[in-house]
Amino acid sequence: MGIDPNFDSNREKVGEENGVDVWGPVDPPEKLGIHGMHVAVDYDLCVADGACLENCPVDVFTWVDTPGHPESERKVEPTREDQCIDCMLCVDICPVDAIDVDGSRV
Ligand code: F3S
Ligand code: F3S
């Protein structure tokens, strides 16, 4: 199962990292929650495939290190989610459905 598209209703915002909202539960290093709002990445699903970062036409994503996480030791932070043009390429390309993009979430 991929990222919950209703995470902003179903989860609590627990803080911010790198200027991006973080939605719990969070219990590092094993559990890191969902990062983002308009462009959201489920850090507990991301396996660091990198196709989203390499192919986003407006370079929304930045690598961050997540040592000790069971799925991967780095993740993509949607640091420039305000630049997203809703092309949905990242949503379609992610092999584990870790990304949700919703233009109504800002
Ligand atoms: Fe980039 Fe994904 Fe938006 S590929 S433009 S962050 S829909
Ligand atoms: Fe992670 Fe999926 Fe991107 S696995 S690095 S969110 S393509």
Any idea which fold 20-99 has? Alpha-Beta Plaits (3.30.70)
**Percentage of the chain modeled with pLDDT above 70:** 100
Domain boundaries, the chain: 20-99
Please give the number of the atom of ligand 2 that sits closest to the Cα of 48: 5
CA nearest ligand 1 atom 5, residue: 84
70, with CB counted inside 10 A (0-12, 13-18, 19+), is exposed
- What pLDDT shows up at residue 18? 97
At 9-36, the pLDDT tens digits run 999 999 999 999 999 999 999 999 999 9
Residue 39 has pLDDT above 90, yes or no: yes
From 38, 54, 56, 79, give the residue whose CB has the most ligand 1 atoms within 8 Å, as the site to mutate: 56
- Residue list, ligand 1 pocket, CB within 6 Å: 39, 56-58, 60, 84-90, 101
